Amino acid sequence: MKDFFRRLKYYGLGFGIGIVMVLALFDNKGCSWFPSNRVKDNLFNRMIVVNQTNSHQIKEQGFSETLFLKTIQNGTVDFGKSKKQGLDKVYRIDYKTPKGKKAHCYMTMGDESFVSEVIFSTKKATQITPTKPESSAKGQILFFPKNEFLFYMDSSQVFQEKMKDLGISNDQKLNQLIRKYGRFSFGDSQLTLHPKPIHGLVFRTNNRTKEMLHVQCIWFKDKIKVYQIRVELQDF
């Protein structure tokens, strides 16, 4: 019996050391069963944007866009300072700048929204909301989910004919243009609308055209359906 308890003690000790090592080695490295990583996985399954009026803060903290995304992906979710309840959640991400200074940002996560907005603020998470539709500012798109056909056109014949007239003959072309020229349009969006928030994007078909295409979209089955469009002529 003594041998049994001695073996049990050694087993428990080894098991405990193994748990500590797993936590140390794999936290923030892709183990989706950690709560922090589950949140970040959900955030990075969305399109990540930052209001262009605030995008300068990324450079001011010493980041390139790529390094900033990598840093927040490896950052720590502060659940105690996040808004975890309700349909429109807001998570605080703590991280360090390239110079080793502590910093944080907030990331919005609406249940039916395909966008997560990065917000730099000293406010509490409960006071953070996405940029309002009245804003004329555009959103700089920092990240697209890895899906070649993330966007697709509504099946309406009238809508598809209108898109063809603008030179967008299929979903592949639509995805290429949005990824190359796209900006998020807060003015065309209603991100707190339920059950389905409306999202707005603005893009052009080439560098020289004066036509800016404003489209509205909804998130449907992990893809983004583009269902409405209007053309704006730029005066330049």
Domain regions of the chain by residue span = 35-127, 138-233
pTM metric for this prediction: 0.84
Does residue 133 have a cis bond before it (omega within 30 degrees)? no
- Token pair of 170 as six digits: 């299929």
- The answer to whether 162 touches 229, Cβ cutoff 8 Å, is yes
CATH architecture of 35-127: 2-Layer Sandwich (3.30)
Full DSSP string of 156-180: -HHHHHHHHHTT--SHHHHHHHHHH
Q: Cα separation of 137 and 54, whole Å?
A: 10
Under 8 Å CB-to-CB from 111, ≥6 apart: which residues? 87, 88, 89
Per-residue pLDDT of the chain (236 residues; tens, 9 = 90+): 556 555 555 555 555 454 444 444 444 445 556 889 999 999 999 999 999 999 999 999 999 999 999 999 999 999 999 999 999 999 999 999 999 999 999 999 999 999 999 999 999 999 999 999 988 889 999 999 988 899 999 999 999 999 999 999 999 999 999 999 999 999 999 999 999 999 999 999 998 888 999 999 999 988 999 999 999 987 65
In the CATH scheme, what is the code of domain 138-233? 3.30.2310
